[in-house]
Amino acid sequence: MDRSTESERSSASTKRRSPSRGWRFAVGALAAAAVITLGVRATVVDFFYIGSTSMESTLNPGEGLLVNRLAYNNAEIQRGDVVIFDGRGSFLPYQRPNAVDSLAWALRLAGSDAVYVKRVIGVGGDTVSCCGPDGRLSVNGVAVDEPYVFAGDKPSEMDFEVQIPEGRLWVMGDHRSVSEDSRALMGAPGGGMIVTDRVIGKVTDVIWPLESKRPVEGSSTLGGLPVSE
């Protein structure tokens, strides 16, 4: 056999195999990157789009939010925090969360129709009421200033007073006149109060569109809300 011919055939075969090896490497790298991205989004930081007007004008439809999933690992949820939570069992009182559904959602294998974003108004042990003689909402008998409430809205169109059990949260949207929140579910199982374990994370920033980038502020006075004595 002609050695030069054999060498040429071997070289041609190597050239034919090289592209397929390159594709396999590229596909493997993309798959690994996807797994890492899903892992980070499921455990560390996540990204959500706003699809409703219930948090205007703090958060507006079409904006993308950065969510810190580790915010409450070593810290308590504070009044004033804007949180993302799984509404099954509270906002969706007749849907119960289960481990399989939660894992599928975390890995983006299921939709996010059960996920909500609201502001924490009261935490376990608080009494929240509205509205006082001055038209303001009160936490534990102290009137609260709420500069984040949508311009022209009242703190609440309906009167209420609730005591929040330990391990639960009372949440409301900043656009009070259109937000369906804890107020709308007072007669439902759980009274519209969120179990703290169902909080996915804290909204820290608006990161999309780029021209709208900004931090999402909470307040720290009285554990999260600015207060006027």
pLDDT digits (tens, 9 = 90+) for 186-204: 887 778 899 999 999 999 9
**Residue of 176, 85, 79 whose CA lies nearest to 126:** 79
Structure tokens at 202: 């804290």
Residues 6+ apart with CB under 8 A from 146: 136, 137, 155, 225, 226
Q: What is the dihedral of CA 42, 99, 64, 41, to 10 degrees?
A: 10
Burial 93-130 (b: 16+ CB within 10 A, else e): beeebeeebbeebbeeeeeeebbbbbbbbbbbebebbb
How far, in Å, CA of 168 to CA of 198, rounded? 10
**Residue of 111, 33, 65 whose CA lies nearest to 214:** 65
Length of the chain: 229
Q: Taking the CB of residue 221, how many other CB atoms lie within 10 A of it?
A: 13
How far, in Å, CA of 217 to CA of 116, rounded? 18
Longest dimension (CA), the chain: 104
45-215: CATH, from 2.10.109.10, 1.10.260.40, 2.40.30.110, 3.30.70.1280: 2.10.109.10
pLDDT digits (tens, 9 = 90+) for 84-130: 998 888 887 666 655 556 555 555 555 567 889 999 999 999 999 99
Confidence at residue 114, expressed as pLDDT on a 0 to 100 scale: 82
| Beta pairing class for 115-123 and 82-86 | antiparallel
Confidence at residue 88, expressed as pLDDT on a 0 to 100 scale: 83
How far, in Å, CA of 86 to CA of 199, rounded? 6
Residues 6+ apart with CB under 8 A from 205: 65, 66, 213, 214, 215, 216
Confidence at residue 131, expressed as pLDDT on a 0 to 100 scale: 94
- Distances in Å between the Cα of 147 and the Cα atoms of 43, 77, 135, 157, 196 are 32, 20, 14, 17, 25
Write out residues in the chain with pLDDT < 70, as ranges. Answer: 1-45, 93-112, 219-229
User: Under DSSP, is residue 189 helix (H, G, I), strand (E, B) or coil?
Assistant: helix
- Structure pTM? 0.77
Contact indicator for 109, 147 with CB cutoff of 8 Å: no
Confidence at residue 108, expressed as pLDDT on a 0 to 100 scale: 53
